[in-house]
Amino acid sequence: MDSKNIKYLTISIILLILSGLSIFSIFKTNSAPLDLILSSTKTTDIVNIPTSIPTAKPTTIVTPTATSSAKITATPTATISAKITITPTLTTTPTSTLKTTINPTPTPISSILNFKSVADGFSIDYSSSRKFYQDSESTGNRYTFYLSSGNFAVHVSPSGTWSWSNPDRNFNSTLIVSGQNTYRYDISTQTIVDLQSSTKNYTIQCVHNNNTTIKAECEAFIKSFQLL
């Protein structure tokens, strides 16, 4: 073997022996703490676990603060605006309605009018609801007091003539009109009363169609007749 190679081999063996001694001395010095290192690692893990649990709690407490502040701002605004809008409407409406109902058109009340004919020598009262017409007929003058539900009339003829014919005309004091005896003739639809003056004959005629109201008006109409 070459002396050069022997030299390299010897150096390598020496280095190996030195390395082995170094490793042995390291293990010998640190052989006791190996178990302690393992056990201390386990304890650290156990101690650190609770620390992460409390950290979550403060985050949850913040939430209610936002809710309470929102309620305070919203409530007053809605209540105030509602009250302001309603007030004007209530005041205005009743005023106009009352005015409409208070002023109805008054119903005309009929009054009593007096008609007088100097030419034919009589006067008579009649209701203002009737219309007055004067015309002539074959026997003399006719004065009509018109109403659609029944006409009244006064027929005037010269003495010895009548506006209608009746062979049984007998005058009596049962009904006295303007101080004169009369002849009264009644049927279901009308009433006729005849009377005389020294120069003229008068026939008062009421067409009442058996209407109670018009019959009562007819009686007043006949009684109001006056000779002039």
State pLDDT tens for residues 17-28: 887 777 776 766
State pLDDT tens for residues 168-212: 999 999 999 999 999 999 999 999 999 999 999 999 999 999 999
- pLDDT value, residue 34: 40
Contact, 154 vs 203, CB < 8 A? yes
- pLDDT value, residue 22: 74
Burial track 15-39 (b if 16+ CB lie within 10 A, e otherwise): eeeeeeeeeeeeeeeeeeeeeeeee
Contact, 203 vs 158, CB < 8 A? no
Share the mean pLDDT of the chain.
75
Structure token pair of residue 8 = 């390299």
Contact, 208 vs 214, CB < 8 A? yes
State pLDDT tens for residues 63-120: 444 444 444 444 444 444 444 333 333 333 344 444 444 445 454 567 999 999 999 9
Evaluate whether the domain defined by 113-227 bears CATH number 3.40.30.10. Answer: no
Structure token pair of residue 87 = 């007030």
- pLDDT value, residue 70: 44
> Hey, CA dihedral for 179, 181, 185, 186, is it positive or negative?
positive
Spans of all domains in the chain: 1-104, 113-227
Q: How many CB atoms lie within 10 A of CB 49?
A: 8
Among 205, 87, 215, residue whose Cα is nearest residue 149: 215
